[in-house]
């Protein structure tokens, strides 16, 4: 007979048939007979089978079809039924034999598909439906027995994947198919997976017997997961538990696996059933003295204990326990790891209330042993038990005992392993390390859960946090979960948070602490202050301590001292404390009125400290100058006035707060701020003076204030940004358009406001004056023509004189360069050629005819270097030149200065959105945006993002107007925007004629221009007759220009932006554009674009034409006329206008619209 090929899934495939001469056709009945005979065992092979079980590989799912047998064998197989081994016949005498004809043939095809792995779940569903829906009981039972037989045999394979898949299939069938004979399944299992096991019996050794035992255990476990076990009768329970208990004396891994299954199954049984049918068999196996115990047997004892079969005394007596150290040794030094449920049961046993001291004993045992051990199993077991102790610990237990679990030794081991687990592992990583890594994430999550929900005492929480921090200050560097320390601190009370804050502060001032650790402590202190976890009293005292540390040099005792006696990293701490103090001071401030009381409090404390002359030498900035002391006298007066009477003047409050803030910062930061401080003090005097002899005084203090705010914006710290915006928001009502221009001057991208070269500004001013003069001359009357001619001649003479001077300067520069070049050549030729005793000019005494080849090459190289050094630099080489460090610093400083100026403009937009201010800001900001997008400052992307943020705010801001204000100034801005953007892009196009498509940056510039266009047009809100408003002639000109010219600055997107607004004039813009459809001068591309625009917004016609029904009728009439003309054209069907016209006509009420839609459809 031919053999079958067995795969790893336990499914077999018949070998390929060979062509035989005169081969008779084999019937299907013969094939089925052969298959069942192979599955059950041929009579000829029974004796051999009795002597030796099948090889484990042969136990995999065998073939259901075999067509390669002899004719005589087929005739014999056709007469046979499924036979059993002789030693089992007596058991089944009353049972009818399984007939081969009763097996449903379709089952073989399903097994073949399962073997190939194609749609495994679908084929399994087909198999279940076949077994469940067969009406003939004989066929159903025969097919079911055959199916389970094949699957059960596969559980004894040495292929883990095949075993697991077969077990899953058995479980699915038992759970889905009713009325399966479980006893028959068990008998099949014993017959096909024979193993000598039982209470008191000896199990055969060897691979075959071990695999059969595994198959039996897995099959029993699969049955216990089905409804058949939940509703099992005592007979079935006895049969199942007998098999599992019998394996407890087998090999250790089999015994451990069986014990885990047994222990987990106890919870499904009630106490009476467990005691009568399970415990009677089990107790003699597991109740052994502790010296003979195994970890899995003790786990079964604990499972029985939790079933209330054993009491604590009975347990200790049965195991001959004198102390529990032997039990701890059993768990912690076991070579086999148990499943999670075993560790859960032991953890529950440790934390029981009546055990009391048991958890302490276990903790002490682990703490002593963990120092010397390097066993991964020991660590894994200890951490798992700690995890489940935390999980099952309840509120009634003594929570202080839990703190002892986190002993220094345990935490040191834990963090060492966590750090090791975070490193990248190689492929040779041990399995135990991988198991440890899996335990860590579980431990972290359960510790956090325990901390949040189980611990009610704040002291316990603080102790846990402190113990964690003592072993790993930077907890996030080893913990896998994000923001772990923040989550722990958030659960503390204000007093607990203050203890943690004090811990970080004290650690900061300890000696021999690394710089990274100190910075981490500073960050933690800042985070705690920022989250409002402290009481107001503690917060104020700590902020005052921060201010002292920012102003004075401090020692390790956190007290002021001279710089020579200061602690390590003194400057670092001062910088950080300065930023932390001012950031937290401004954190909750909404206005200067909120900030002033705090500034008065902190300034008064600083004045008190400065009253001691000894502290002058302890200042970080050094002893104060006479000028500084004079300003502080004024500051003392401000503080004294605030104590005497409450200040209600908003402007005075703002200026007082500004002066106090700058006075504190100049002590702890830049002493040069004293100049700004003096200006602010004078500014306050002018602003609050009741007697003003001149109006210019009222204007001057505002200019000084604006300049001072701009100067303060040059400071590096981030807190200045928020503070200046607070000040500006408080005084915005006093500032006017000319003060806005002071800020806008910073955003002039053609000038550097930080440059020390005053000639640039002067040249720029001269150019502006010349332009102004030319404009004035154009507007002057004809009577002044002669004077203009004279002025022109004078200007020409001056220009010629300047050009001559420039030429002279250029000649001088060129002569200097030539002289340097000659000197360089001379040095190159005379180097190393001086003769001993010569005066150094060796070139004059050298006979050039005697110069050898090597010397000539040296001279050639020297000359080449000399000429290369003085080679004129081209524009390309200058562009490639990398900027110096100082240039990069200056560029970055200027960029941030402009970003902060944009912040100030944002305050103007939100607090004072008057039309004049908004228009000035739009022009300036758009210029900055263009320069950063398609101009020379394209690398300054941070500045570009800041301008985009401000432009969004401008578009969403409602503009305010004075009564009867003329809006014609908007038209000038619109024209300027359109001209500026278009000219810039046209110039770029001329430089790059080969470029066919606009870059993304240019497209974005045009989009923002169009958004501003739509926003400004929508400001003309007269809804009576939009064609009479000032902007209408401009829009009509835009429409005509766009339609008539091929190349224009306007695009379809420009009108799309207007259509997207709620401006009432959109209806008339639509009509004006549709009127050009009938014109012969309109190009086909423009017609299509107009139709597309109207089609896209046709659904909004009811809203757009809400107040203009006649205009809507006019639009539809124009579309009807155009459609009639278009239908007569021969190329109409090829064009894409049909769908657009149909969509527009669908919104019309004219009956002709429907007729035209039907014609277009045809």
pLDDT-based confidence at residue 868 (cuts at 50, 70, 90): low
Mean pLDDT of 18-47: 37
Query: Exposed, middle or buried: residue 647 (CB in 10 Å: 0-12, 13-18, 19+)?
Result: middle
Mean pLDDT of 668-696: 77
Q: How far apart are CA 1041 and CA 748, in angstroms?
A: 31
Percentages helix, strand, coil for the chain (3-state, rounded to 5) are 70, 0, 30
The distance in angstroms from the start CA to the end CA of the chain is 75
pLDDT of residue 1105: 87
Q: Are 4 and 150 in contact (CB under 8 A)?
A: no
For residue 665, CA distances in Å to 123, 592, 672, 1133 come to 79, 17, 11, 77
Using alpha carbons, select from 1004, 914, 917, 903 the residue that is nearest to residue 949: 903
pLDDT of residue 858: 74
pLDDT-based confidence at residue 910 (cuts at 50, 70, 90): very high
Beta-sheet pairing, 560-561 with 553-554: antiparallel
For residue 292, CA distances in Å to 310, 318, 479 come to 19, 12, 40
Residues 594/599/600/603 CA torsion (nearest 10 deg): 180
pLDDT of residue 467: 87
State the residue for tokens 């919870």: 267
Q: Are 210 and 254 in contact (CB under 8 A)?
A: yes
Q: How far apart are CA 1018 and CA 1029, in angstroms?
A: 11
pLDDT of residue 990: 53
The more confident residue out of 898 and 367 is: 898
Three-state DSSP at 959 gives coil
Using alpha carbons, select from 188, 240, 165 the residue that is nearest to residue 10: 165
Q: How far apart are CA 220 and CA 152, in angstroms?
A: 10
Using alpha carbons, select from 1063, 1046, 1064, 1051 the residue that is nearest to residue 1093: 1051
Mean pLDDT of 760-764: 44
Q: What angle do CA 1017, 1020, 1021 make, to 5 degrees?
A: 125
Three-state DSSP at 947 gives helix
Rg (CA), the chain: 47
The more confident residue out of 838 and 88 is: 838
The more confident residue out of 96 and 665 is: 665
pLDDT over 80 at 698, yes or no? no
pLDDT over 60 at 4, yes or no? no
Q: How far apart are CA 1153 and CA 1138, in angstroms?
A: 13
Q: Are 638 and 656 in contact (CB under 8 A)?
A: yes
Using alpha carbons, select from 215, 158, 164, 207 the residue that is nearest to residue 186: 215
Q: Is 840 left (phi over 0), alpha (psi -120 to 50) or beta?
A: left
Most confident of 202-206, 426-430, 477-481: 477-481
Residue 757, phi then psi, degrees to nearest 5: -85, 105
The more confident residue out of 849 and 743 is: 743
Tens digits of residue pLDDT in 1112-1161: 888 989 999 999 888 888 777 777 888 898 888 888 888 888 888 888 88
Q: What is the greatest pairwise CA distance in the chain?
A: 142
The more confident residue out of 946 and 129 is: 946
pLDDT of residue 119: 65
pLDDT over 70 at 780, yes or no? no
> Residues of the chain with pLDDT > 70: what percent?
75
Q: How far apart are CA 483 and CA 461, in angstroms?
A: 17
The more confident residue out of 385 and 851 is: 385
pLDDT over 90 at 743, yes or no? yes
Q: What is the 3-state secondary structure (H, E, C) of 666-682?
A: HHHCCCCHHHHHHHHHH
Q: How far apart are CA 218 and CA 193, in angstroms?
A: 12
State the residue for tokens 């004198």: 322
- Structure token pair of residue 357: 């001291």
Q: Are 665 and 634 in contact (CB under 8 A)?
A: no
Which residues on adjacent β-strands are paired with residue 550?
none
pLDDT over 90 at 613, yes or no? no
Beta-sheet pairing, 12-14 with 4-6: antiparallel
pLDDT over 60 at 517, yes or no? yes
Q: How far apart are CA 805 and CA 206, in angstroms?
A: 109
Using alpha carbons, select from 247, 268, 267, 246 the residue that is nearest to residue 257: 247
Which residues are CB-contacts of 522 (< 8 A; sequence separation ≥ 6)? 508, 573, 576, 577, 580
Which residues are CB-contacts of 810 (< 8 A; sequence separation ≥ 6)? none
Q: How far apart are CA 188 and CA 1125, in angstroms?
A: 90
The more confident residue out of 794 and 647 is: 647
Tens digits of residue pLDDT in 645-674: 777 788 999 999 999 999 999 887 777 788
pLDDT of residue 711: 92
Q: Are 379 and 436 in contact (CB under 8 A)?
A: yes
- Structure token pair of residue 177: 């198919």
Region of poorest pLDDT, from 25-34, 153-162, 191-200, 644-653:
25-34
Q: What 8-state DSSP symbol labels residue 476?
A: G
Residues 920/921/927/933 CA torsion (nearest 10 deg): -160
Q: Are 454 and 395 in contact (CB under 8 A)?
A: yes
pLDDT of residue 128: 86
pLDDT of residue 512: 85
Query: Exposed, middle or buried: residue 637 (CB in 10 Å: 0-12, 13-18, 19+)?
Result: exposed
Region of poorest pLDDT, from 1-15, 422-436, 1125-1139:
1-15
Mean pLDDT of 745-766: 69
Q: How far apart are CA 256 and CA 100, in angstroms?
A: 40
State the residue for tokens 């094949």: 150
Tens digits of residue pLDDT in 182-235: 888 889 888 888 876 544 445 555 677 788 888 889 999 999 999 888 888 888
H or E segment to which residue 14 belongs: strand 12-14
pLDDT over 90 at 122, yes or no? no
Region of poorest pLDDT, from 290-304, 467-481, 955-969:
467-481
The more confident residue out of 747 and 569 is: 747
Question: How many Cα neighbours within 13 Å face the side chain of 977?
Answer: 30
Q: How many helices (H) and strands (E) does the chain have?
A: 54, 4
- Structure token pair of residue 678: 């003096």
Three-state DSSP at 619 gives strand
Crossing angle of helices 494-508 and 515-530, rounded to 10°: 160
Tens digits of residue pLDDT in 338-351: 788 888 999 888 88
Q: How far apart are CA 203 and CA 251, in angstroms?
A: 9
DSSP secondary structure string, 808-868? Answer: HHHHHHHHHHHHHHHHHHHHHHHTT-PPTTS-S-GGGG--GGG--HHHHHHHHHHHHHHHH
Distance, CA of 153 to chain centre: 51
pLDDT of residue 830: 59
Q: How far apart are CA 810 and CA 647, in angstroms?
A: 64
The more confident residue out of 976 and 644 is: 976
Q: What is the mean pLDDT of the chain?
A: 78
Q: Are 84 and 100 in contact (CB under 8 A)?
A: no
Q: How many beta carbons lie within 10 A of that of residue 11, not counting itself?
A: 26
State the residue for tokens 């009325």: 179
pLDDT of residue 452: 87
- Structure token pair of residue 1020: 């003309």
pLDDT over 50 at 52, yes or no? no
Three-state DSSP at 13 gives strand
pLDDT-based confidence at residue 1106 (cuts at 50, 70, 90): confident
pLDDT of residue 793: 44
Mean pLDDT of 607-635: 88
Q: How far apart are CA 913 and CA 130, in angstroms?
A: 79
pLDDT over 90 at 909, yes or no? yes
DSSP secondary structure string, 759-815? Answer: HHHHHHHHHHHHHHHHHHHHHS-GGGHHHHHHHHHHHHHHHHHHHHHHHHHHHHHHH
Q: How far apart are CA 832 and CA 267, in angstroms?
A: 100
Which residues on adjacent β-strands are paired with residue 956?
none
pLDDT-based confidence at residue 83 (cuts at 50, 70, 90): very low
Three-state DSSP at 649 gives coil
Q: How far apart are CA 26 and CA 543, in angstroms?
A: 98
């Amino acid at each position: 007979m031919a053999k079958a090929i067995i795969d790893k899934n336990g499914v077999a495939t018949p070998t390929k048939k060979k062509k035989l001469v005169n081969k008779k056709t084999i019937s299907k009945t013969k094939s089925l007979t052969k298959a069942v005979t192979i599955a059950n065992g041929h009579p000829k092979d029974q004796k051999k089978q009795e002597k030796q079980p099948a090889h484990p590989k042969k136990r995999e799912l065998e073939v259901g079809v075999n067509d390669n047998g002899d004719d005589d064998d087929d005739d014999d197989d056709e007469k046979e039924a499924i036979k059993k081994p002789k030693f089992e016949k007596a058991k089944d005498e009353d049972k009818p034999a399984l007939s081969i004809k009763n097996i449903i043939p379709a089952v073989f095809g399903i097994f073949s598909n399962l073997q190939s792995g194609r749609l495994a779940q679908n084929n399994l569903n087909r198999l279940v439906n076949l077994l469940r829906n067969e009406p003939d009981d004989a066929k159903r039972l025969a097919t079911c027995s055959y199916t389970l037989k094949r699957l059960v045999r596969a559980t004894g394979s040495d292929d883990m994947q095949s075993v697991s898949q077969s077990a899953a299939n058995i479980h699915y069938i038992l759970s889905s198919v009713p009325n399966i004979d479980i006893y028959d399944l068990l008998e099949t299992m014993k017959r096909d997976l024979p193993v000598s096991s039982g209470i008191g019996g000896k199990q055969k050794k060897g691979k075959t017997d071990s695999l059969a035992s595994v198959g039996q255990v897995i099959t029993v476990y699969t049955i216990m997961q089905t409804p058949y076990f939940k509703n099992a009768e005592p007979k079935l329970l006895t049969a199942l538990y007998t098999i599992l208990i019998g394996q407890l004396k087998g090999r250790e891994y089999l015994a451990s696996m069986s014990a885990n299954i047994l222990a987990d199954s106890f919870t499904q049984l009630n106490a009476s059933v467990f005691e009568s049918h399970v415990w009677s068999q089990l107790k003699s196996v597991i109740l052994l003295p502790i010296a003979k115990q195994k970890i899995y047997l003790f786990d079964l004892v604990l499972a029985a204990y939790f079933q209330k079969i054993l009491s604590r005394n009975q347990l200790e007596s049965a195991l001959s326990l004198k102390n529990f150290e032997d039990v701890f040794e059993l768990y912690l030094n076991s070579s086999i790891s148990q499943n999670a449920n075993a560790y859960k049961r032991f953890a529950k046993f440790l934390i029981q209330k009546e055990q009391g001291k048991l958890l302490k004993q276990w903790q002490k045992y682990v703490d002593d042993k963990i120092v010397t051990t390097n066993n991964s199993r020991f660590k894994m077991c200890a951490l798992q038990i700690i995890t489940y102790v935390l999980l099952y610990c309840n509120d009634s237990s003594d929570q202080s005992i839990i703190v002892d679990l986190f002993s220094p030794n345990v935490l040191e081991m834990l963090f060492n392993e966590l750090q090791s687990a975070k490193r990248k592992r190689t492929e040779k990583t041990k399995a135990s390390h991988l198991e440890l890594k899996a335990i860590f994430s579980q431990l972290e999550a359960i510790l956090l859960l325990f901390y949040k929900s189980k611990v009610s005492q704040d002291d316990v929480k603080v102790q846990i946090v402190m113990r964690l921090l003592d072993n790993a200050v930077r907890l996030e560097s080893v913990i896998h979960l994000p923001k772990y320390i923040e989550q722990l601190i958030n659960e503390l009370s204000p007093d607990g948070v203050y203890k943690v804050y004090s811990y970080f502060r004290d650690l900061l001032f300890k000696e021999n602490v690394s710089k990274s650790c100190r910075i981490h402590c500073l960050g933690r202190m800042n985070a705690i202050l920022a989250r409002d976890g402290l009481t107001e009293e503690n917060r104020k005292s700590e902020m005052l301590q921060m201010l002292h540390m920012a102003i004075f040099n401090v020692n390790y005792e956190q007290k002021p001292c001279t710089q020579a006696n200061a602690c390590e990293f003194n400057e670092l701490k001062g910088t950080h404390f300065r930023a932390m103090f001012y950031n937290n001071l401004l954190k909750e401030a909404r206005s200067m009125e909120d900030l002033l009381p705090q500034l008065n409090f902190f300034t008064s404390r600083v004045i008190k400290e400065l009253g001691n002359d000894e502290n002058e030498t302890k200042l970080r900035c050094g002893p104060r100058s006479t000028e500084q002391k004079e300003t502080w006298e004024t500051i003392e007066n401000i503080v004294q006035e605030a104590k005497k009477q409450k200040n209600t003047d908003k402007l005075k409050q703002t200026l007082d707060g500004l002066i106090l803030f700058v006075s504190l910062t100049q002590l702890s930061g830049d002493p040069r701020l004293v100049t700004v401080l003096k200006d602010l003090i004078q500014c306050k005097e002018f602003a609050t003076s009741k007697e003003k002899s001149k109006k210019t005084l009222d204007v001057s203090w505002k200019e000084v204030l604006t300049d001072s705010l701009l100067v303060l914006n040059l400071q590096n710290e981030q807190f200045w940004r928020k503070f200046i915006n607070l000040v500006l928001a408080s005084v915005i009502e006093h500032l006017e358009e000319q003060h806005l221009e002071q800020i806008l001057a910073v955003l002039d991208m053609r000038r550097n406001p930080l440059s020390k070269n005053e000639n640039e500004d002067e040249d720029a001013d001269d150019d502006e004056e010349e332009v102004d003069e030319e404009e004035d001359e154009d507007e002057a009357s004809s009577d002044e023509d002669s004077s203009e001619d004279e002025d022109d001649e004078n200007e020409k003479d001056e220009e010629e004189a300047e050009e001559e001077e420039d030429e002279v300067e250029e000649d001088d520069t060129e002569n200097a360069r030539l002289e340097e070049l000659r000197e360089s050549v001379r040095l190159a030729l005379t180097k190393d050629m001086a003769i001993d005793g010569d005066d150094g000019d060796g070139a004059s005494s050298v006979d050039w005819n005697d110069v050898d080849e090597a010397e000539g090459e040296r001279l050639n190289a020297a000359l080449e270097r000399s000429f290369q050094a003085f080679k004129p630099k081209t524009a390309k080489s200058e562009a490639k030149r990398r900027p110096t460090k100082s240039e990069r610093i200056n560029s970055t400083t200027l960029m941030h200065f402009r970003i902060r100026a944009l912040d100030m403009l944002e305050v103007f937009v939100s607090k004072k959105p008057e039309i004049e201010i908004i228009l000035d800001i739009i022009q300036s900001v758009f210029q900055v945006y263009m320069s950063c997008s398609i101009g020379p400052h394209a690398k300054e992307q941070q500045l570009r993002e800041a301008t985009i943020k401000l432009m969004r705010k401008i578009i969403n801001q409602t503009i305010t107007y004075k009564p009867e204000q003329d809006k014609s100034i908007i038209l000038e801005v619109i024209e300027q925007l359109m001209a500026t953007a278009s000219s810039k892009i046209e110039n770029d196009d001329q430089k790059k004629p080969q470029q066919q498509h606009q870059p993304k940056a240019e497209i974005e510039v045009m989009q923002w221009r169009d958004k501003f266009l739509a926003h400004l047009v929508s400001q003309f809100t007269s809804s009576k007759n939009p064609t009479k408003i000032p902007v209408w002639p401009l829009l009509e000109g835009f429409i005509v220009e766009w339609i008539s010219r091929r190349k224009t600055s306007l695009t379809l997107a420009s009108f799309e932006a207007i259509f997207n607004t709620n401006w009432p004039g959109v209806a008339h813009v639509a009509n004006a554009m549709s009127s050009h459809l009938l014109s012969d001068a309109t190009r086909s591309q423009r017609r299509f674009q107009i139709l597309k625009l109207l089609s896209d917004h046709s659904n909004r016609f009811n809203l757009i034409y809400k107040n203009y029904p006649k205009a809507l009728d006019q639009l539809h009439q124009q579309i009807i006329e155009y459609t009639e003309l278009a239908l007569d054209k021969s190329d109409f069907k090829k064009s894409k206008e049909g769908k657009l016209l149909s969509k527009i006509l669908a919104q019309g009420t004219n009956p002709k619209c429907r007729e035209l839609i039907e014609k277009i459809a045809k």
